[in-house]
Amino acid sequence: MQFSESFRIAVSTLGVHKVRSLLTVFGTVIGVMSVVTIVSIIEGMNEYVSERLVAEGSNTFYVDKFGMITNYEEYLEAMKRKDFTMDDARAVERLAPAVLAAGAVAETRKTVRYRSNSVSGVNVRGVDERYGLIEAVSGVDVEEGRIISREDVLRRRAICVIGDDVKTKLFGGVDPIGKEVRVGRHTFRVIGVGEKKGTLLGISQDSFVRIPLTAFQKIFGSRTPVAIAVKARHQESYELAQDEVRAILRARRKVPFSKPDDFNIMGAETFMELYRSFTSTAYLVTVGIAAISLVVGGIVIMNIMLVSVTERTREIGIRKAIGARRGDIMLQFLIESLILSGSGGLIGVLLGVAIALLISGVTPLPAAIRAWAIIMGLAVACGVGTFFGIYPAARAAKLDPIVALRYE
């Protein structure tokens, strides 16, 4: 029998039981939908994060004494380590040929005020003059005014560069240059405004205040850990720069040859690795959920197909009497369960894409619809339909035509 005929029969049969067919494929819909939605969102985030991290930290890496702390003992151990200073940054820049610039930076969060306006949770960074240079080279520059200079740092001047968000929230339309803002309990004069950088996963990159590191340490205490931001000369010397910095710092910190580093180097790729390990877990969870709902969905399909075979026993008898072979009947019912689960998969894909787009529309989470996720969803749905359709189809094919014809 021709495939098209089986297809026609299946479509018309399923059309008769619209509600039943829809309920039958519910599990498949949910399974495929969750795969498509979650894959779209994770892929969207991957794309977004890697783009942003690459733009953000192109050729830049950070050195601090903590690194990835996962438990309290490690924290206590790390606390005992020597703090980095501006001198370390200077040494790195001077001694490492692959390094373009190295700057020291310490940070905290404070409320920033101007007259009656205030912004809380602002990222306050104490920086030296080389840090500003690194940012400027990375394409993030001050839009108005100037960056923090060597003089500012040496003289511990109470001046600051503010982010675009802080400017908008504190000053509105007023020109902030020369105005005095309060960071915690201290007053700083605005000398520059940073270029607008936008948001990263919904978090503003423009809610910051930069002050001279010397002023920072005087106000917030010199115990606040200092990190060193290092910019390699170019992409090719990125890894070389890391090696040079490691050697220089080990020497300066007198780390014995046999001991591991008492500091940590983190580049964009370190964040990416961490991020990927999170998303791969999310993938596993998704696959698990989807697998369960697809198996349950497949069993529901099998159940309904068995009901359908019983209901249509007489039809099967008639078809056999007029010449349908076992294979014809088998094919008819297999195609029926295939169409059932395939349309479930299709609905799932459409819903999944719609939900992913909706989420990316109303939340900061981006979404990237992947063809492979859609194809895989449909293929798995069809596979489930075929697999769970085999038993009912075989039952139908094996029916004795005489018994089937007599069935009421």
Partner 1 sequence: MSGLIELKSVTKIYEVGAEKVHALRGIDLELSSNDYLAIMGPSGSGKSTLMNLIGCLDTPTSGSYRFKDREVKDLSDDELARIRNKEIGFVFQTFNLLPRADASHNVELPLIYAGVSRAERKSKVEAALKAVGLEDRARHRPAELSGGQRQRAAIARALVNEPSVILADEPTGNLDSKTGEEIMQAMGKIHDAGNAIILVTHEEYIAKHARRIVRLRDGLIEADEVV
* Nearer CB in complex with partner 1: 167/312: 312
Residue 318 CB, nearest approach to partner 1 (Å): 5
- CA-based nearest residue to 268, from 222, 230, 312: 230
Residue 310 CB, nearest approach to partner 1 (Å): 16
* Nearer CB in complex with partner 1: 141/400: 400
* Nearer CB in complex with partner 1: 33/334: 334
* Nearer CB in complex with partner 1: 1/307: 1
Residue 273 CB, nearest approach to partner 1 (Å): 59
* Nearer CB in complex with partner 1: 82/406: 406
Residue 329 CB, nearest approach to partner 1 (Å): 10
Residue 10 CB, nearest approach to partner 1 (Å): 12
Contact by Cβ (8 Å): 140, 198: no
Give the separation between CA 332 and CA 305, rounded to whole angstroms: 11
**Dihedrals phi, psi of 162, to nearest 5 degrees:** -110, 155
Residue 407 CB, nearest approach to partner 1 (Å): 11
* Nearer CB in complex with partner 1: 2/258: 2
* Nearer CB in complex with partner 1: 115/314: 314
Residue 382 CB, nearest approach to partner 1 (Å): 24
Residue 16 CB, nearest approach to partner 1 (Å): 7
Contact by Cβ (8 Å): 266, 258: no
Where do contacts with partner 1 occur on this chain (CB under 8 A)? 1-2, 5, 12-13, 16, 314-315, 317-328, 401-402, 405
* Nearer CB in complex with partner 1: 177/318: 318
